[in-house]
Structure 1
C-alpha cells in the first residue's frame, strides 16, 4: 500500500520548483560538507552577520538530529503498535529540531523552548473517546517555537486542538472516514493546463459562504497562498502560490493527488507537521500514562478509533521524513 512513497515524485511548474520524495531523501544533508554549506546558505538568507561561524557550530548538531530522527522512526516501524506513538513522536521531535537550526541559529536559546509545548488531560474521563479529546497549546515549548519559526504561525497560546479535527485533515485517512461516515473530508483538485486547480463549487455549501466571501476568507487565512482566481459553471479555479503553506489544500501521498479540506476549522489551516506533532504527542502520552485504555483499544478494537489510529501511525512513519525533506528542499531553493 505504501510502496509508492518510496519513489513518489511530483512537481509544480508554475512555481519553478521541483519536489521529489524518495527513500532516504534526507541522506544528502547528512554529511559535514553538504550540511555546512546548506546551513551557511540558510543563514546568509537570514542576513546573519556571523553566518559562517554559526554554520560551523551547528553542522554536527544538525546532522545528528536528522540521524536521531531516522533512528526513532525506523525503530517505530519495526516495533509493536503499543509503543509506536512514543518512538514516532520523539523521531518527529528530533527532525523538527534539525529544521529549527536552519531558521534559528541559536536554538535552543532558553530552556523554555525545550518543553513539548502542549498539554493533555492526564486523567481520562469515563467512556473516554480519543476523537473527542483535545490538547492545549502552551505559551512556551517546542510546538509554539517551531510553529512560528518554521511556518510563521503565531498566537497559538491557549488554543485547544481536537483530535477528530486533526485526523480529518490527513488525506491518507480519507478512505476510512469515507467508509465510516459515508462522507469524504476532502474535495479532489484537478490541475489544468494553466497551472490552476479545479475545485467543486460544493465547497461553498461546505463552508457556508458565497463565492466572494470564500475568496476573501482564503486570502486572509492563507496570507494569499491559496487564492480563487476565477469561477466557471460548477467549478472554482484556485491557485497555490506556496506548497509549504498550501493548507487547506493537502497532498495525498497514496494517490499523488492534491485535495481541498471540506472543513473550515482552524486545524484545517495548520501545516501538516503541526498536525502530526499534536496527534503523536497525545498518542504518546496515552501510550505512556493511560495504558489500560490504550491496551483495551489495541486488543479489543472496540470502536472506529482503532482503524484511524493504526492507519495514522502507519502513514506517519512514511510521510514525516518526506515532509521534513520537503521543508529542507524549499529552504535550499
Structure 2
C-alpha cells in the first residue's frame, strides 16, 4: 500500500453507518449487562456516528492546515473520538456538566526561558480526562497529579529515533517476534528497570494484569510472553516501522494507554497555540531547540496514529 493510499485510508469507516454502529453499541451494552441495551443503542447511535464524523473532520482538516493551528484541530478531533468511545461504555454520557471540562489544567502564563519538555499539566477531579481514563481504561486519576511533557513524549514509540539522536539513549527497546509466539528483548531491560529476571516478570505481570510477563532467558536477551492479541503498555506499536516496542522506563506514564498520553500532550500544545502565541511562533519560525523536532514529528504522527488507536479500542469493545 503506497503512502498516499495509506494516508487516505479511514480505519473508522466500518463504524460510520447506522446499522453497524447500532449493532456495535448494542453488543457493547450487553457486555456490561445494561438492561435496555437495544433501546440505549438506538438512542445513542446518532451521537456515536456524529462524534466519529466530527472527529474525522477535525483530523482531516488539521492535515491540510498550517502547523500553527494543528494542535487545536487535532486535540478537538481526539476529544470527539473519545466521546464516541465513551458512549460505548457509558450510555448516559454526559450525565453531568462536570464531565464536559477538559479535566486538565496548565500554567496560564509561561515563565521566562520556558521549556515545553519541562512543562507539566495537572489532572483535575472532574472533566473528560479523568472520566474517560476511568470508564474506558479503569485508570483512576489522582487530583493534582502532574504529567511531564518529556515523560509523555518518551512514551510515543514513533519518536524513539529522534530521542536516540538527540540524547544518545532511545526510550524503547524493539521486540523481535520468535517462532513460539513470544517476543525477544535485549537483556539491557533488566538494567533499565533495575530488576532481576523474576522480579521483572512479577512487576510486568502485576502492572498489566497478567498480559505481559517474562517467559525466560534467550541468548543475549529475554523472552516476553504476551497474552491476548495485542500487547499491553508498556509494550507499544511503532506504526512508523511496524514493530512492537517495550518502554525502558517504569514510570506511571509507561503504563498509560496511548489515548491518555495523546490527550494530555495535545491539550497542552493546543493551549499554547491559543494563548502563548509569542513563544509558539518563535518556536515555529526559528526552531531554536530540540523541542521543535519532537513537537513537529508528534503532530505528524498524531494525524495518522490517533484513528488507529481509536479503531483498536472500538475493535476490542466489539470483540
- The bucket for the TM-score relative to the shorter chain is over 0.9
Q: CA deviation at 1:156?
A: 3.2
Q: In the TM superposition, what whole-angstrom CA distance separates every residue of 1:137-179 from its partner, at most 9, and x where no partner exists?
A: 1111111111111111114322111000000111111111111
The runs of 5 or more residues in structure 2 that have no matched partner are none
Distance 2:121 2:288 in 1: 23
Secondary structure of residue in 1 paired with 2:289:
coil
Q: Which of 109, 132, 155 does residue 146 from structure 1 map onto?
A: 132
Distance 2:261 2:139 in 1: 13
Q: CA deviation at 1:233?
A: 4.0
The runs of 5 or more residues in structure 1 that have no matched partner are 8-21
Q: In the TM superposition, what whole-angstrom CA distance separates every residue of 1:53-96 from its partner, at most 9, and x where no partner exists?
A: 10000000000000000000011110000000000000000000
Superposition pairs for residues 293-304 of structure 1, below 5 Å?
293-304=279-290
Runs of 4 or more, structure 1, over 6 Å off, are none
Q: CA deviation at 1:263?
A: 1.2
2:36 is aligned with 1:50: yes
Residues 155, 287 of structure 1: alpha-carbon distance in 2 compared, 3 angstrom cutoff: closer
Secondary structure of residue in 2 paired with 1:229:
strand
Q: In the TM superposition, what whole-angstrom CA distance separates every residue of 1:98-122 from its partner, at most 9, and x where no partner exists?
A: 0000011000011111110111111
Superposition pairs for residues 1-333 of structure 1, below 5 Å?
3=3, 6=6, 23-242=9-228, 246-333=232-319
Q: 2:158–2:301: 8 Å Cα contact kept in structure 1?
A: yes
Distance 1:211 1:275 in 2: 28
Q: CA deviation at 1:242?
A: 4.3
Q: CA deviation at 1:234?
A: 2.2
Q: 2:11–2:308: 8 Å Cα contact kept in structure 1?
A: yes
Q: What is the Cα-based RMSD across aligned positions, in Å?
A: 1.6
Distance 1:312 1:100 in 2: 25
Q: 2:123–2:141: 8 Å Cα contact kept in structure 1?
A: no
Q: CA deviation at 1:244?
A: 6.0
Distance 1:78 1:164 in 2: 27
Name the counterpart of 1:14: none
